[in-house]
Amino acid sequence: MSRIKVGIIGCGYIAGVHAGILAGDERVEVSAVHDIATECANRIARSQGATVAATPEEVIETCDAVYITAPNTKHVSLATAAADANKHVFCEKPLALTIADAELVVEKSKSSKGIFQVGHNRRFAPVYATLKQKLVDTKPHSAHIKMNRGELLKPVWTGDPNVTGGFLFETTIHMFDMVRFLFGEVESLLAIGSTHEYPEVDDFSVLLKFTNGMHATLASSADASWLFPFERVEVFCHHATFVTREMETLVCSSNIEGHFNQQSMQQLSREEKWGYLQEDRAFVDAIVNNTPPLVTAYDGLMSVKLVEAVYESVKHGQRVDL
Amino acid sequence: MSRIKVGIIGCGYIAGVHAGILAGDERVEVSAVHDIATECANRIARSQGATVAATPEEVIETCDAVYITAPNTKHVSLATAAADANKHVFCEKPLALTIADAELVVEKSKSSKGIFQVGHNRRFAPVYATLKQKLVDTKPHSAHIKMNRGELLKPVWTGDPNVTGGFLFETTIHMFDMVRFLFGEVESLLAIGSTHEYPEVDDFSVLLKFTNGMHATLASSADASWLFPFERVEVFCHHATFVTREMETLVCSSNIEGHFNQQSMQQLSREEKWGYLQEDRAFVDAIVNNTPPLVTAYDGLMSVKLVEAVYESVKHGQRVDL
Amino acid sequence: MSRIKVGIIGCGYIAGVHAGILAGDERVEVSAVHDIATECANRIARSQGATVAATPEEVIETCDAVYITAPNTKHVSLATAAADANKHVFCEKPLALTIADAELVVEKSKSSKGIFQVGHNRRFAPVYATLKQKLVDTKPHSAHIKMNRGELLKPVWTGDPNVTGGFLFETTIHMFDMVRFLFGEVESLLAIGSTHEYPEVDDFSVLLKFTNGMHATLASSADASWLFPFERVEVFCHHATFVTREMETLVCSSNIEGHFNQQSMQQLSREEKWGYLQEDRAFVDAIVNNTPPLVTAYDGLMSVKLVEAVYESVKHGQRVDL
Amino acid sequence: MSRIKVGIIGCGYIAGVHAGILAGDERVEVSAVHDIATECANRIARSQGATVAATPEEVIETCDAVYITAPNTKHVSLATAAADANKHVFCEKPLALTIADAELVVEKSKSSKGIFQVGHNRRFAPVYATLKQKLVDTKPHSAHIKMNRGELLKPVWTGDPNVTGGFLFETTIHMFDMVRFLFGEVESLLAIGSTHEYPEVDDFSVLLKFTNGMHATLASSADASWLFPFERVEVFCHHATFVTREMETLVCSSNIEGHFNQQSMQQLSREEKWGYLQEDRAFVDAIVNNTPPLVTAYDGLMSVKLVEAVYESVKHGQRVDL
Question: Residue A47's pLDDT band (boundaries 50, 70, 90)?
Answer: confident
* Secondary structure letter of residue A119 according to DSSP: E
Cα-to-chain-centroid distance, residue A175: 8
| pLDDT tens digits, one per residue of B42-94 | 999 988 889 999 999 999 999 999 999 999 999 999 999 999 999 999 999 99
% of chain B surpassing 70 pLDDT: 100
Nearest by CB to residue D224, choosing from C203, C214, C237, is: C237
> How many C-beta atoms surround the C-beta of residue D163 within 10 A?
14
Class of residue B163 by CB neighbours under 10 A (exposed 0-12, middle 13-18, buried 19+): middle
A273 three-class SS:
helix
Using a CB-CB cut-off of 8 Å, the residues of chain B touching D258 are 264, 266-267
- Distance of CA A228 to CAs B135, B273, D128, D288, Å? 21, 25, 21, 39
Phi, psi for D240 (deg, rounded to 5): -155, 145
Q: What is the CA radius of gyration of chain D?
A: 20
Output the pLDDT for position C262.
97
Interface A-B: count of C-beta contacts within 8 A: 167
Interchain pair D261, B257: CB under 8 A: no
Answer yes or no: is pLDDT of B129 > 90.
yes
Q: Which residue of A has its CA nearest to B221?
A: A236
Q: Does D226 contact chain A (CB < 8 Å)?
A: yes
Using a CB-CB cut-off of 8 Å, the residues of chain A touching B146 are 144, 234
Question: Residue A178's pLDDT band (boundaries 50, 70, 90)?
Answer: very high
Strands A88-92 and A116-119: parallel
User: Which is more confident, C1 or B55?
Assistant: B55
Segment D171-192 mean pLDDT: 98
Answer yes or no: is pLDDT of D46 > 90.
no
pTM for the model stands at 0.95
Using a CB-CB cut-off of 8 Å, the residues of chain B touching C46 are 49
| pLDDT tens digits, one per residue of C213-222 | 999 999 999 9
Using a CB-CB cut-off of 8 Å, the residues of chain D touching A47 are 47
Per-residue burial over C9-23, b if 16 or more Cβ lie within 10 Å, else e, is bbbbebbbbbbbbbb
% of chain D surpassing 70 pLDDT: 100
Output the pLDDT for position B48.
87
Q: Does B172 contact chain A (CB < 8 Å)?
A: no
Output the pLDDT for position C46.
87
Which of C130, C251, C257 has the most A C-beta neighbours within 10 Å, making it the best mutation to test the interface with A?
C257
Answer yes or no: is pLDDT of B1 > 80.
no
Question: Residue C248's pLDDT band (boundaries 50, 70, 90)?
Answer: very high
Closest-CA distance, D237 to chain B, in angstroms, reads 20
Bridge partners for C244 per DSSP: C233, C250
Strands B215-221 and B186-194: unpaired
Q: Which residue of A has its CA nearest to D249?
A: A228
Segment A51-70 mean pLDDT: 98
Output the pLDDT for position C47.
83
> How many C-beta atoms surround the C-beta of residue B49 within 10 A?
12
> How many C-beta atoms surround the C-beta of residue D255 within 10 A?
16
Q: CA–CA separation, B87 vs C270, rounded Å? A: 36
Contacts of C77 (CB under 8 A, 6+ apart): none
Strands A140-148 and A215-221: parallel
CB A298 within 8 A of CB A106: yes
How would DSSP label each residue in B28-89?
EEEEEEE-SSHHHHHHHHHHHTPEEPSSHHHHHHH-SEEEE-S-GGGHHHHHHHHHHTT-EE
| pLDDT tens digits, one per residue of D105-129 | 999 999 999 999 999 999 999 999 9
% of chain C surpassing 90 pLDDT: 97
Question: Residue A1's pLDDT band (boundaries 50, 70, 90)?
Answer: low
Q: Look over chain B and give the mean of its residue pLDDT values, rounded to a whole number.
A: 97
Q: CA–CA separation, D57 vs D73, rounded Å? A: 17
Q: Does D261 contact chain A (CB < 8 Å)?
A: no
% of chain C surpassing 70 pLDDT: 100
Interchain pair C151, D256: CB under 8 A: yes
Q: CA–CA separation, D294 vs D299, rounded Å? A: 9
Answer yes or no: is pLDDT of C38 > 70.
yes
Chain C neighbours, 3+ Cβ pairs < 8 A: A, B, D
Nearest by CB to residue D262, choosing from B262, B266, B267, is: B262
CB C196 within 8 A of CB C167: no
Output the pLDDT for position A222.
97
Which of these, A213, A283, A205, lies nearest to A28 by C-alpha position? Answer: A283
Interchain pair B226, C46: CB under 8 A: no
Chain D neighbours, 3+ Cβ pairs < 8 A: A, B, C
Count Cα atoms within 13 angstroms, Cβ side, for C193: 25
Answer yes or no: is pLDDT of C1 > 70.
no
Bridge partners for D207 per DSSP: D190, D217
Interchain pair B262, D267: CB under 8 A: no
Output the pLDDT for position D1.
60
Output the pLDDT for position A93.
98
Q: Look over chain C and give the mean of its residue pLDDT values, rounded to a whole number.
A: 97
Nearest by CB to residue A257, choosing from C257, C261, C267, is: C267
Answer yes or no: is pLDDT of A105 > 80.
yes
Cα-to-chain-centroid distance, residue D66: 17
A259 three-class SS:
coil
Kindly tell me the sign of the dihedral angle through the C-alpha atoms of B140, B144, B149, B152: positive
| pLDDT tens digits, one per residue of A297-316 | 999 999 999 999 999 999 99
